[in-house]
Amino acid sequence: EYFEAVAEGKPEEHGFIQKVAARDIMNIVACEGLDRVERAASYRVWDARAKR
C-alpha cells in the first residue's frame, strides 16, 4: 500500500520506487547490527561472496 500511495496515478514511478526500495532492503538484510553498512555492491554480489 505504501508504494501505491507514494506514486498514485504514476505507474512508471511506482515500479521504479518499488525496485529501488526492494534493492535497498535486500542489501540491508545482508548485514545485521554493527556490521550493517551501505554497500556499493548489490545483494547478489554479497550473496555470491558469502557462499564461497
**Residue-wise pLDDT tens for the chain (52 aa)?**
665 676 677 777 777 877 878 877 776 777 666 666 666 777 788 788 889 8
Continuous H helices in 1-42 = 2-6, 11-29
Task: Say how far apart CA 27 and CA 4 lie, in whole Å.
Answer: 23
**What is the pTM assigned to this prediction?**
0.39
What is the pLDDT, as a whole number, of residue 6?
66
Torsion sign over Cα 34, 36, 40, 46: positive
What is the pLDDT, as a whole number, of residue 1?
63
Give the HSE-up count for residue 22: Cα atoms under 13 Å, Cβ half-sphere.
8
Q: Which of 11, 43, 12 is nearest to 25 (CA)?
A: 43
